[in-house]
Amino acid sequence: MSFDNHEIYNDMEKSSRGGSSVIQKLVASVLFLSIGFAIGNVYKVTKTPETQVNDKSELPIIETVSTKTPKQVATKGEALSIKEIANMNQDSIVEIKIATKATSSYFGTYTTTGSGSGIIISKDGYILTNNHVIEDASDIKIKLHDGTEYDAKVVGSDSKTDVGIIKIEANNLQPVKIGNSDLLSVGDTAVVIGNPLGELGGTVTNGIISALEREMNIEGTKMNLIQTNAAINPGNSGGGMFNSNGELVGIVVAKSSGLSIEGLGFAIPINDVADVINDILELGYVSGRPYLGVELSDTKETKTPYSGGNSIFDFFYGDFDSYTKTSYGAYVKYVEEGSAADEAGIEVDDQIISIDGEMCSSTTDVSNAIAEHEVGDTISIGIVRNKKMLSLKATLKEYTGSNEEKDSKEEQKDKKEKVES
């Protein structure tokens, strides 16, 4: 709507010779303007809440992870004391105890145990940790800061970024406030809360940000990490690193330790894994990852224990060397049905020796070579089968979760449908 003041002025001048028409036009103009302003105000009142609701509907399912790329404006306000940061976050950090699947040996069946830390990211029990803390776990126990214990289930994880998410059946938990790791500077305050040694839950240590984007090789994977001199020990993995405002800026991941090395710890920047976290929450896996569809091992047993007989006599007086002889390389232990490897003709016991002409002497080499490609790329795979060298072509597919994760989701879906029916 536009109003030409010049035209209104001319109308007033023309009608000065007929007073009543001037008054009528003035009254009409005032009414017209008043109605316009009233409509404008009504528009503001009704439209603003609708926009906010639409924005909220686009948020990921965990509200504390507020955006896929959290490049927020720097938080304003006075820095908190270490005591205030600890009080703000101690209830948001949990202890994790895991047991791995039972394995058999000559001396019986045994399980291994481990420990780590976790970060509560939702009121209803989603917990962020490291992939290596929960990897291969068959049983996961969580202890809150108040001592309450829960069983936990894996939602999903990603070995490339070393991120994992687990879930406990609980409510009214205290989630952390997500910060912006892109705003960190060397010399900033760093506070770490975790479960060092697997027995000292809720431990708080502090220091500074010692370096940013420090490239480290963690179990064969290159990662850019935050470096700190805050005390970090085994068991801290999966715990939180907080800034001076008490906001989560990093997930503790590794420590360089030795007889003469102290004050050297690392954390994954939270901004670097925001997309990964949300994908795991929404899908159970990280989208867009190329996938060959094999399980690999660096060693291959040439003979299965006790394959020569059924008694202990056969073991001790038979060909002992045949039970222990191994060779090294990237051996295929399992091929997923319908995967890129399956369609390419890769078989169990094949030894992968190259990808696109580049030699691969370990499972790490193969994994790194696959990670450099994209979904849909066709790669050349050199293998050894029955002492013969072969070259196969495989078109990489997208990773959509492990079979165990899919089975778990199907079970959850079935249970939900039964309840609804």
Asked whether residue 7 carries a pLDDT value surpassing 70, the answer given is: no
Question: Considering only CA atoms, which of 196, 246, 250, 312 is closest in space to residue 88?
Answer: 246
Confidence of residue 297 (pLDDT cuts 50, 70, 90): confident
Active-site residue identified among 115, 117, 132, 275: 132
Cα–Cα distance for residue pair 266/194, rounded to 1 Å: 13
- Whole-number Cα distances in Å, 96 to 119, 159, 194, 214, 391: 10, 18, 10, 27, 45
Confidence of residue 301 (pLDDT cuts 50, 70, 90): low
pLDDT in tens, 315-340: 444 444 443 444 556 899 999 999 99
Is the pLDDT at 302 greater than 60, yes or no? no
Domain 62-287 class, CATH top level: mainly beta
Residues 6+ apart with CB under 8 A from 274: 65, 67, 68, 69, 70
Identify the active-site residue in 237, 244, 354, 367: 237
237 is catalytic: yes
Least confident of 61-70, 114-123, 183-192: 61-70
Confidence of residue 162 (pLDDT cuts 50, 70, 90): very high
User: Encoding tokens for residue 338?
Assistant: 């319908």
Assigned architecture for domain 290-398: Roll (2.30)
132 tagged catalytic:
yes
Write phi, then psi, for 87 (nearest 5 degrees).
-60, -35
Catalytic residue among 162, 272, 350, 365: 162
